[in-house]
Structure 1
Amino acid sequence: MTITTVRAVCPHDCPDTCALLVTVDAGVATAVRGDPDHPTTAGVLCTKVARYTERTYHADRLLTPLKRIGKKGEGKFERISWDEAITTIALRLGAIAATDPQAIVPYSYAGTMGLVQGEAMASRFFNVLGASQLHRSICASAGGTGYTYTIGKRIGTDPEQFQNAKLILIWGGNPIASNLHLWMRVQEAKRRGAKVIAIDPYRSLTAEKCQQHIALLPGTDAALALGMMQVLIADDLIDHDYVARHTTGFEELKVRAAEWPPERVATTCGISAEEVITLAREYGQAALRGEGVAIRVNYGLQRVHGGGMAVRNIACLPALVGAWRNAAGGILLSTSDSFAKNKQALERPDLARPVRTINMCSIGDDLLREASPEFGPKIAALIVYNSNPVAVAPESGKVMQGFAREDLFTVVLEHFQTDTADYADIVLPATTQLEHVDIHATYGHLYMMANNAAIAPMGEAKPNTEFFRLLAARMGFDDPCLSESDETIAASAFDKSNPRAVHFDWESLKRTGWQKLAVPDAPFADGGFETPSGKCEFYSAQMLADGFDPLPAYIPPYESVASNASLGSKYPLAMISPPARNFLNSSFVNVASLRATEGEPHLDIHPEDAARRAIGDGDTVRIFNDRGSFEAKARVTDRARKGLVVGLSIWWKKMAADGKNANEVTSQRLTDMAGGATFYDVLVEVEKK
């Protein structure tokens, strides 16, 4: 038999978007490895994706359509045909749509980051149907909005330049676990003499390997950035030429920054004034020497009340010191807007009608709401794909209540019987990345990526696109866009009129697997910010028009001992739940080898906080607040700063001893900007079981 190698792409919600080489022997994928020629992947895969064949050929793969026969949540199903499944779904949705199609809600996120299997055909279908829109804000909306107000687009330092930097701030992220290939470049920079500083409430795997760790309180990053600005301005560590030519609002910023001397910042952030002063001086002095000073700001810090403003404040720093002049300087949040995606061709927003929008972060409350003039119709049907909301959505107790409604018709497209699938009326088997065609933009590097199908679909699994094509046909929708092939959709994914993607060609991309965008090495060396003014906006008139403070500011957490004393007296510990190294959101939790490596749900707690509660290392503890509780094994460690507990996540509920996870205690309250989730804006108490 002929052994072949197929070019593919990792589809998961990770900035690395690795180029894969899949070995296929007699129609079976026998190995998945990283492409050694792809500059980002460099032949290296994370422990999760290196085991991708385990996931594809997992004994528990869903391979046939299923119909519920037990109570919701029990996970009892019987096999049905695709024809029965599509007919049942079409009849139920048709009956609901006849009254008000807005009672039908899609729920999806980044279970695949592919532009074809993600939202393309699904959006077309729901636009034609007239279903409610979903505000997909659970991960990155707040930070992206704050960054965009300041910089103009989610464009930043090329990750390939980080190895040339002399000072790197890893701010609110743990790239060893969630951005491995950037970390490889950071390690190279260290070998060349760079200093790397981690700014994170938790001494993560990454923070442990940095020369310095600044362990500030959750939700106070905006204050630290303001304090850095105050020191930079007071010490005249400013690139005045860059500020004069490429920024707006410096005089107003000087006044605002003066309100944040290091002593105030220290009190707010729970760190020392000396840490603030030294950090600012090292940053400003290195930039003014012309050295590369790079900030990798990640999404963890924006999952709090003032998360959008926090990212905005940090995004001001490179322009203040002229760090953008050096290709190895500046800031990277996301590369998403570097890609000229053709959203009109992919998702056909022109087919949509005015409908309500449901915020995915508040799905618990929304599923429990009755019809009203303000809210609209009660949600009657939910189509879930590329997501596992029962595990990942905040305030999980309410989410489960909503999904348990007997009058709610729920369809789930999945690879496995997840926590969410247990509540479905119909479960449909979806293909994995090795079984379908897709095209990818990324948010952590600058390469367009093609995914070729390596093997035939397992069992009766179908791509997401095929489900929506079949359903549209059964419901009598005849717009030609609802029958387009995956290849046709992929070929239209990028706007070839945009200078960054003018060289795009789908056929050649399939052959090569990846191709870099046409972008400059240093995107803002000479200004050119895509803001209304064309400059980096310390003062943003657009923010003022949108109802925000137009200058960098500090917005305290909803839940902290300092901002809510009465709540803090009842629940005195802040809690964050960053990703576990061996999981990716809720993906891979059911891969036995990865789950065995992760062990069981743990809670890291500082020795002083543990002693105060008579908690010993290895004790089972209950973590609780007014929203709910979950259990974990205590790890008594100073990796968690005093006043903070850390529960690495996200476990499937059914695979935890108590059937719960960290989202029992998280809140549905939203961020300052763009309706993001506040997963890390949480107060709890912990007790020994």
Structure 2
Amino acid sequence: MKILGACPLDCPDGCSWVVDVQDGKAVGLRGNKEHPVTRGALCVKVNRYLEQVHSPERITHPLRRVGPKGEGRFERITWDEALDEIATRLTGIIAEHGGEAIWPFHGNGSLGYVQGLEGFSGRRFFNALGSSLHEPTICSIAGNTGLNYTLGTAGGMDPEDLAQSKLILLWGTNPLTTGHHIWKFIQDSGAYTVAIDPVRSRTAERCDEHLAPLPGTDAALALGLMHVIVSLGAEDGDFLAEHTEGWPEFRSRVEEYTPERTAEITGLPVERIVALGERIARTRPTAIRVSQGIQRHAGGGMALRTLACLPGVTGDWAIPGGGLHYSTSGHFELDVEGLSRHDLLPHPVRTLSMTRMGEALLDPAGPPVKALFVIAANPVGSNPDQRRVIEGLAREDLFTVVLEHFQTDTADYADIVLPATMQPEHLDVIAAYGNLYLVWNEPAVAPPGECLPTTETFRRLAHRMGLTEPALFESDEELANQVLKNYDIDRLRAEGFLKIEPKPVPQGKLQFVSARAVEDGHDPLAGYTPPADPGDGLVLISAASHYFLNSTFGANPELRRRAGEPRVTIHPDDAAARGISDGDAVTVGNARGSFDAIATVSDAVRPGVAATEKGRWAKHTGGATVNATIAERDSDYGGGAVFHDNRVVITPRTHAADDQAPSASSTLRA
């Protein structure tokens, strides 16, 4: 039997897959050949997804902590015992501290609109309790905000239109690792491809040209390229006159970014800037593919705001195959509010930032957080300032419930761990953020052991707490009908996927000068905001791994073997200055923390930059990962994370030094 489903993981591609079922067990998983983006292929990670489903390490029954927080020692309990304990603790916390003392911390371990995606369905339960709201600031909020200032939407171009492009700028993105299906449309185009990335990634290796600007200087480069275009008289006067606002003011700003000034800011040769600007000036259509990496720094929102101006200057927004693609989420008309039901809140409540977890748990500005629900997330592995996150989770007065598949670093700090279903075991709906397809996920097999869908967990908990609001007990089918009320759900369920109609981009006129930005306290003009990390040393990029997806698959033995030990790539000039050779053991750190790695000396990174990968679990790497070095600071727009606005010192790690200095793991526990 073959069951159509959808990959739930935090990847733009939103793949449609086929589950082969024999005797009630999932025995095969493959990409759906009928889906125009998936085209029958999954990625190196998801090809091993059934190993996750059938893993002997999977949590399949409720657990209660029996040792100190962080040790990961638990005993098996029944669902009744777990629900009773949770209901009793929550009732007491609400009575003493109010509902805002509860923080439902939702992550992107599942992008399903029914079972995951910041817990839109579980949000109903927490709203009924009056709990704090959760702001998912860790991923793409800065870029979304910046694009909205310029375009009125973050939706962007249909990535399938890349097949019509003549020039494609792959700006701060590595799709061959982080969403490879778009590469097929790039290949179909035959376009000249330029990778703009401080690191020579897998994708950059395959492009016609690679430019490596200093991290966080992308907006300055965009302004410099527009300067070249305008100096050639190649701007599209008709588009600027009819479809934009604020061009005279923005042109004055563009004229400030001469190739020489741009070179000084970005670290690129003047001639490379001029050559690319000239290529863009004479090539229509030109498309820009940009992903979340470049907006994870102090000027991240401004970077996307300014990049979206470039196709406005050239008129590419009006040409099929031209424009910018960041996220297609803005095109979907999903009833998220109807799913979340914020009207169930008994009164206004505070909002807690996802990327400020250490601060909220240790130094709260308002009521203390006394109960934490972690759902589809592993903040010890994914959040900034790992040491403070661990310190907060270790609080004995913090009651923590984790819904999980595996005993993650975060689950080790839980009081109660609840077993959650995986994608072939529940109903769900996926809306891709890298294309325009809705994908239906039909349950294919029964859950193992006592695993429950997240929706069912909250239905049972609502009943146990004596709540009577009917919306808290709606079935998964009813929840799916709610979020998809603007689409043909019967057709979607029957066919497995459905392409939606994109909205116009820009919506209205493109805003070089944004009144909304002014209202929010920002520069009225698109421009450049420099990086802000005041530390010494090298700028550290911590990009996505080819073998892990965030921290998902961090426990998979084969993918861990392929990924190997944690490594940090350093330019030969920087390595020589520090007495580091290829293959040396090194410590990478700053005032916040450190982690251990093996040095790769290579010109794959430019001087002044080091590169490593995210996704490993701290318990597998000596107690710390790259996130031990990341600051809990906000980007310019929306309170986004600053993972790539991070300076570190890299030093050789010798046995003598290890005897005299605290290790990364002991530093975390101090």
Find the aligned partners of 2:407 and 2:258 in 1 and give their Cα distance: 53
The one-letter code sitting in structure 2 at the alignment partner of 1:440 is I
Find the aligned partners of 2:256 and 2:236 in 1 and give their Cα distance: 21
Which residue matches 1:106?
A: 104
- Pairing 1:360-439 to 2, within 5 Å after superposition: 360-369=354-363, 375-439=365-429
Partner-residue secondary structure (3-state), 2:82: helix
The one-letter code sitting in structure 1 at the alignment partner of 2:104 is P
Q: State the shift of 1:495 in Å.
A: 4.1
Which residue matches 1:329?
A: 322
Which residue matches 1:500?
A: none
Alignment partner for residue 256 of structure 1, among 248, 253, 256?
Answer: 253
Which residue matches 1:46?
A: 43
Which residue matches 1:675?
A: 639
Residue 10 (structure 2) pairs with residue 16 (structure 1): no
1:94-135 Cα distance to aligned partner (Å, 9 max, x none): 111112111110111211000000223211011111011111
The one-letter code sitting in structure 2 at the alignment partner of 1:444 is G
The one-letter code sitting in structure 2 at the alignment partner of 1:109 is G
Residue 513 (structure 2) pairs with residue 512 (structure 1): no
Residue 284 (structure 2) pairs with residue 320 (structure 1): no
Residue 587 (structure 2) pairs with residue 622 (structure 1): yes
The one-letter code sitting in structure 2 at the alignment partner of 1:234 is S
Question: Would you say the 8 A contact 1:576–1:645 is kept in 2?
Answer: yes
Question: Would you say the 8 A contact 1:133–1:355 is kept in 2?
Answer: yes
Which residue matches 2:146?
A: 146
Question: Would you say the 8 A contact 2:382–2:550 is kept in 1?
Answer: yes
Which residue matches 1:354?
A: 348
Partner-residue secondary structure (3-state), 2:429: strand
Identity %: 47
Find the aligned partners of 2:301 and 2:337 in 1 and give their Cα distance: 27
Alignment partner for residue 653 of structure 1, among 588, 597, 618?
Answer: 618
Partner-residue secondary structure (3-state), 1:180: coil
Alignment partner for residue 477 of structure 1, among 445, 467, 471?
Answer: 467
Which residue matches 1:187?
A: 187
Find the aligned partners of 1:619 and 1:310 in 2 and give their Cα distance: 36
Residue 289 (structure 2) pairs with residue 296 (structure 1): yes
Find the aligned partners of 2:45 and 2:246 in 1 and give their Cα distance: 46
1:307-329 Cα distance to aligned partner (Å, 9 max, x none): 00000000111111111222111
Which residue matches 1:501?
A: none
Find the aligned partners of 2:181 and 2:360 in 1 and give their Cα distance: 39
Alignment partner for residue 59 of structure 1, among 56, 59, 73?
Answer: 56
Partner-residue secondary structure (3-state), 1:282: helix
Partner-residue secondary structure (3-state), 2:185: helix
Residue 75 (structure 2) pairs with residue 78 (structure 1): yes
1:401-428 Cα distance to aligned partner (Å, 9 max, x none): 0000111100000000000000000000
Residue 274 (structure 2) pairs with residue 274 (structure 1): no
Partner-residue secondary structure (3-state), 1:20: strand
Find the aligned partners of 2:463 and 2:233 in 1 and give their Cα distance: 66
Number of equivalences: 649
Find the aligned partners of 1:121 and 1:542 in 2 and give their Cα distance: 31
Find the aligned partners of 2:64 and 2:57 in 1 and give their Cα distance: 17
The one-letter code sitting in structure 2 at the alignment partner of 1:172 is G
Partner-residue secondary structure (3-state), 1:344: helix
Find the aligned partners of 2:174 and 2:407 in 1 and give their Cα distance: 29
Farther-moved stretch of structure 1 (319-328 vs 663-672): 319-328
Find the aligned partners of 2:70 and 2:496 in 1 and give their Cα distance: 41
Residue 24 (structure 2) pairs with residue 27 (structure 1): yes
Find the aligned partners of 1:621 and 1:185 in 2 and give their Cα distance: 40
Q: State the shift of 1:507 in Å.
A: 2.7
Partner-residue secondary structure (3-state), 2:240: helix
Which residue matches 1:537?
A: 511
Find the aligned partners of 1:250 and 1:274 in 2 and give their Cα distance: 27
Question: Would you say the 8 A contact 1:138–1:676 is kept in 2?
Answer: yes
Q: State the shift of 1:518 in Å.
A: 2.6
Q: State the shift of 1:235 in Å.
A: 1.5
Q: State the shift of 1:201 in Å.
A: 0.7
Find the aligned partners of 2:470 and 2:627 in 1 and give their Cα distance: 42
Alignment partner for residue 480 of structure 2, among 477, 490, 505?
Answer: 490
Farther-moved stretch of structure 1 (350-359 vs 658-667): 350-359
Question: Would you say the 8 A contact 2:4–2:16 is kept in 1?
Answer: yes
- TM-score, with length taken from structure 2: 0.96
Question: Would you say the 8 A contact 1:491–1:505 is kept in 2?
Answer: no
Q: State the shift of 1:187 in Å.
A: 2.4
Partner-residue secondary structure (3-state), 1:384: strand
Alignment partner for residue 662 of structure 1, among 626, 634, 653?
Answer: 626
Which residue matches 2:90?
A: 93
Question: Would you say the 8 A contact 1:650–1:662 is kept in 2?
Answer: no
Question: Would you say the 8 A contact 2:338–2:482 is kept in 1?
Answer: yes
1:344-401 Cα distance to aligned partner (Å, 9 max, x none): 221112222311111111101111125xxxx221111100001000111001000000
1:217-249 Cα distance to aligned partner (Å, 9 max, x none): 011111111111222222211111011100000
The one-letter code sitting in structure 2 at the alignment partner of 1:121 is S
Which residue matches 2:547?
A: 582
Partner-residue secondary structure (3-state), 1:515: strand
Which residue matches 1:173?
A: 173
Alignment partner for residue 635 of structure 1, among 600, 623, 646?
Answer: 600
The one-letter code sitting in structure 2 at the alignment partner of 1:158 is D
1:419-452 Cα distance to aligned partner (Å, 9 max, x none): 0000000000000001000011111111111000
Partner-residue secondary structure (3-state), 2:587: strand
Alignment partner for residue 547 of structure 1, among 509, 521, 536?
Answer: 521
Find the aligned partners of 1:515 and 1:359 in 2 and give their Cα distance: 33
Partner-residue secondary structure (3-state), 1:635: strand
Q: State the shift of 1:188 in Å.
A: 2.6
Q: State the shift of 1:506 in Å.
A: 2.0
Partner-residue secondary structure (3-state), 1:632: strand
Question: Would you say the 8 A contact 1:610–1:636 is kept in 2?
Answer: yes
Question: Would you say the 8 A contact 2:158–2:502 is kept in 1?
Answer: no
Question: Would you say the 8 A contact 2:105–2:377 is kept in 1?
Answer: yes
Find the aligned partners of 1:128 and 1:235 in 2 and give their Cα distance: 60
The one-letter code sitting in structure 2 at the alignment partner of 1:274 is E
Q: State the shift of 1:508 in Å.
A: 2.5
Residue 201 (structure 2) pairs with residue 208 (structure 1): no
Aligned CA distance change for structure 1 residues 591 and 73 (closer, same or farther; 3 Å): same
Alignment partner for residue 311 of structure 1, among 296, 299, 304?
Answer: 304
Find the aligned partners of 1:581 and 1:106 in 2 and give their Cα distance: 30
Q: State the shift of 1:184 in Å.
A: 2.1
Q: State the shift of 1:254 in Å.
A: 1.0
The one-letter code sitting in structure 2 at the alignment partner of 1:626 is A
Q: State the shift of 1:282 in Å.
A: 0.9
The one-letter code sitting in structure 1 at the alignment partner of 2:327 is S
Question: Would you say the 8 A contact 2:166–2:286 is kept in 1?
Answer: yes
Q: State the shift of 1:156 in Å.
A: 1.6
RMSD: 1.1
Partner-residue secondary structure (3-state), 1:121: coil
The one-letter code sitting in structure 2 at the alignment partner of 1:516 is K
Find the aligned partners of 1:264 and 1:120 in 2 and give their Cα distance: 46
Find the aligned partners of 1:157 and 1:278 in 2 and give their Cα distance: 25
Alignment partner for residue 439 of structure 2, among 433, 436, 449?
Answer: 449
Question: Would you say the 8 A contact 1:138–1:360 is kept in 2?
Answer: yes
Partner-residue secondary structure (3-state), 1:169: strand
- TM-score, with length taken from structure 1: 0.93
1:57-105 Cα distance to aligned partner (Å, 9 max, x none): 0110000000000000000000000010011001101111112111110
